[in-house]
Amino acid sequence: MRPLTEEETKTMFEKLSKYIGENIKLLVDRPDGSYCFRLHNDRVYYMSEKILKLATNISRDKLISVGTCFGKFTKTNKFRLHITALDFLAPYAKFKVWVKPGAEQSYLYGNHVLKSGLGRITENTNQYQGVVVYSMADVPLGFGVAAKTTQECRRVDPMSIVVFHQADIGEFIRSEDTLT
């Protein structure tokens, strides 16, 4: 477990900023205590200082997970967001997409969101903007990438993809073994 290098921090922040913009600041500089990002097994964990200290007691090879996993670095040093970060990112999300109750399940099975399943969308969403997907009951369901701008979304036919699926809370069950 080590702190992130500058490069890594940058890539991660770039990724996170797609979803929460400058609100990353609120994650880094939290008023309720000091929190930090740590890299372990190519995964980035977000944890409080307290847990960080506690985690020092565990040897590296035995440590599976600590804090909240935000995502992992791929072999090509790209950052991939995990669904576990949803709890931290959803409250700060800038661009949101609400999925109709009928399309919820489809999304939670890992499918993209179609126009027909799109209930609501934040205005001025750009193409390829990172979005947080909500149910109509305002329960965050996962991450996605807007395939179309808001304006385009109005026009396209109902079977076209509006939001690309990235991660959803169905992964907690589907990929239980790999999520840490």
Partner 1 sequence: MRRLYVGGLSHTVTQKDLKDRFGKFGAVEDVELRTRKDEEGVPYKTFGYINIDISDADLKKCLTVLNKSKWKGGTLQIEAAKDSFLDRLAQERQDAATQRLLQPAADDKSHKLLDSLDKAGVKNFTMKAAVPGTEVPGHEDWVVSKFGRVLPILQLRGQKGGKSRTLKYDPSKYCHNIRRLDQKTSDEATPITQLTWEVQGGDDDISKKRRGEFPHYKPPKPKKSRTDVVNSHKAAGGASLKPSVTPADQSESVQLTNRSQNGVGLRPAQERRTRFADSDSEEEIRRLVTAQQTSHDALRQGQEEEGGTLEVVGLDYMTKFGQKGGKEEEDYDSADTDEILASRNPPPQLTPTPPSKEKPAVNDTVRNRKTRTEEMKTGKQKVEEETDVTFRKVLSTQDKEDARKPKPSRKIVVETSYAESGSDEDKDHDSADSESSDSDSSDSDYDAMFSNVTHLEISMADLQKLAEVAQQSETTDDDITAAKNQSDPPEPRSAKKGITPEEILASIMGDNSSDDDGPRKKKRKKKCSKKSQLPAFQGTKVMKEMEKQEDEDGFCKDLNSKETKFKHKVTEDQENQGKTEERASEKMKTVASPQALKTVPSVKTTEHEEDSSSATDEDDQPVSVSTPLSSTSSEEDETEDIVHPPALHRDDEEQRVVTEHPLPRAALAPKEEEERQRKANVRRLAAVQQRQKEAEEHKRLIQGALANLDAPAAGAGKHIVFGSDDDDDEEDDEKEQLTVSEPTPLTKTLFQGSQSEDEETDEAAAKNTKKEKLLKSSGRLLFDGSEDEEDGDEDDGDMFDIKPQFEGRAGQKLMELQSRFGTDERFRMDSRFLEEDGDKDETSETKPSRAEDDEALEEERKKNLSILQSVLGSSEQTCSSKTTSKAKKFRDVSALHYDPSREEHAAFETKTEDVKKESKSARRKKREEAQKLPEVSKEIYYDVSGDLKDVFGQTTKDVAEEEEKINWDQVDEEEPKQEETTTLSSVVSDRPTEEEEESSGFKFSFFGDDAEMEITETAAEYKVESIKVSWQQDPRFHDSSSEEEDEDDADEQEEDEEQSSATCSATTSATNAESKQETTSKVDFFFFFHANDSRLTDGPRLFRRVSELEEQREQWEERRSSLRLEYRKKHKDAKRRLVSSLRS
49, 105, 126, 128: which one contacts partner 1 (CB under 8 A)?
49
CB of 34 vs partner 1, minimal distance in Å:
5
CA separation (Å) from 52 to 22, 24, 66, 67, 117?
25, 20, 8, 8, 41
- What region does 11 belong to: left with phi over 0, alpha with psi -120 to 50, or beta? alpha
Does residue number 10 form part of the binding site for partner 1 (CB under 8 A)? yes
Whose Cβ is closer to partner 1: residue 123's or residue 176's?
Answer: 123
65, 80, 92, 96: which one contacts partner 1 (CB under 8 A)?
96
Does residue number 18 form part of the binding site for partner 1 (CB under 8 A)? no
Are 108 and 168 in contact by the 8 Å Cβ rule? The answer is yes
Does residue number 98 form part of the binding site for partner 1 (CB under 8 A)? yes
d(CA 18, CA 127): 11
119, 145, 152, 174: which one contacts partner 1 (CB under 8 A)?
119
Whose Cβ is closer to partner 1: residue 78's or residue 120's?
Answer: 120
Are 12 and 71 in contact by the 8 Å Cβ rule? The answer is yes
Does residue number 50 form part of the binding site for partner 1 (CB under 8 A)? no
